[in-house]
């Protein structure tokens, strides 16, 4: 994988992941009560597509960091590992929700009914994302891969995710902002991630024709 292709692949994967998440999140707020099966299964399918393209993104990012600065290959590997684990955990959560909805003989709200997903989507997902974003931000800043705002924003979003790690102590009402499965720790953080990934993906794709400074060179200030 050459650098230009790596940037384009990572950029397109980031944009595709973000677009799918941006479509998925509002589907959680259409119905006030238990949503119809079609709504739940549609948003889960969109989420599965988003996670599949996220795997492409983390793989391309790892290879891109290795290509740009082999000395920091370990950072790319950490971003890859944590991103992959996050995608796996969330895919398991999606499978549990989909199975419960398919098996139920009436409409259910899987965000409440499927208790096994509370901290998978919540505290566990938030901690994994914080680690992933920190690794991405550090990798960008140490390799001068992208402008400084991309690494700084990654740290900010990582910090926001860490704030929600203790949410498992605050009940299971999705209407509560800080509940284990609350809209703050799940939907809000999902929306923040999607728009950050969109910005990062666009920046990566646009940088495909730009030569990367060597390690230790002054970082871009845009």
Nearest to 17 by CA among 60, 61, 49: 49
Q: How confident is the model at residue 221 (pLDDT cuts 50, 70, 90)?
A: very low
> Is 50 exceeded by the pLDDT of residue 216?
no
Burial of 1 (0-12, 13-18, 19+ CB in 10 A): middle
> Is 60 exceeded by the pLDDT of residue 214?
no
> Is 90 exceeded by the pLDDT of residue 210?
no
Hey, is 109 helix, strand or coil? coil
Crossing angle for the helix pair 189-206 and 3-24, nearest 10 degrees?
150
> Is 60 exceeded by the pLDDT of residue 204?
yes
Read off the pLDDT of residues 56-109 as tens digits, 9 standing for 90 and up: 999 999 999 999 999 999 999 999 999 999 999 999 999 999 999 999 989 999
Contacts 24+ apart (CB under 8 A), 186-193: 186/111, 186/121, 186/122, 186/125, 187/25, 187/28, 187/29, 189/126, 189/129, 189/160, 189/161, 189/164, 190/21, 190/24, 190/25, 191/21, 191/22, 191/25, 192/157, 192/160, 193/21, 193/129, 193/157
Read off the pLDDT of residues 174-186 as tens digits, 9 standing for 90 and up: 889 999 999 999 9
Read off the pLDDT of residues 108-160 as tens digits, 9 standing for 90 and up: 999 999 998 999 999 999 999 999 999 999 999 999 999 999 999 999 999 99
Any alpha helices (H) in the chain, and if so which ranges? 3-24, 37-68, 73-103, 110-113, 118-119, 125-143, 148-163, 189-206
Q: Are 21 and 190 spatial neighbours (Cβ–Cβ below 8 Å)? A: yes
> Is 80 exceeded by the pLDDT of residue 212?
no
pLDDT at position 201 is 96
The structure tokens listed for 64 are 């891109």
- Residue that has been written with the tokens 């009560």 in this structure: 33
pLDDT at position 208 is 86
The structure tokens listed for 92 are 């398991």
- Residue that has been written with the tokens 């666009």 in this structure: 202
- Domain residue extents for the chain: 3-209
Hey, is 97 helix, strand or coil? helix
The structure tokens listed for 188 are 């809000």
What mean pLDDT is predicted for residues 41-55? 96
Read off the pLDDT of residues 2-20 as tens digits, 9 standing for 90 and up: 889 999 999 999 999 999 9
> Is 80 exceeded by the pLDDT of residue 54?
yes
pLDDT at position 136 is 97
Could you tell me how many residues make up the chain? 222
> Is 50 exceeded by the pLDDT of residue 29?
yes
């Amino acid at each position: 994988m050459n650098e230009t292709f790596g940037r384009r692949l990572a950029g397109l994967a980031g944009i595709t992941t973000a677009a799918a998440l941006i479509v998925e999140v509002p589907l959680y707020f259409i119905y006030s009560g238990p949503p119809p099966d079609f709504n739940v299964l549609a948003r889960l399918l969109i989420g599965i597509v988003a996670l599949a393209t996220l795997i492409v993104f983390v793989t391309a990012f790892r290879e891109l960091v290795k290509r740009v600065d082999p000395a920091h290959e370990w950072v790319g590997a950490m971003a890859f590992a944590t991103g992959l684990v996050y995608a796996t955990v969330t895919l398991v959560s999606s499978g549990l929700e989909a199975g419960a909805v398919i098996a139920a003989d009436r409409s259910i709200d899987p965000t409440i009914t499927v208790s096994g997903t509370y901290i998978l989507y919540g505290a566990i997902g938030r901690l994994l994302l914080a680690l992933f974003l920190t690794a991405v931000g550090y990798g960008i800043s140490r390799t001068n891969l992208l402008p400084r705002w991309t690494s700084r924003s990654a740290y900010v979003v990582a910090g926001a995710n860490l704030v929600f790690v203790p949410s498992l102590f605050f009940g299971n009402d999705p209407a509560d902002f800080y509940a284990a499965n609350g809209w703050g720790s799940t939907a809000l953080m999902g929306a923040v991630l999607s728009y950050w990934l969109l910005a990062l993906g666009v920046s990566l794709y646009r940088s495909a024709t730009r030569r990367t400074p060597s390690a230790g060179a002054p970082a871009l200030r845009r």
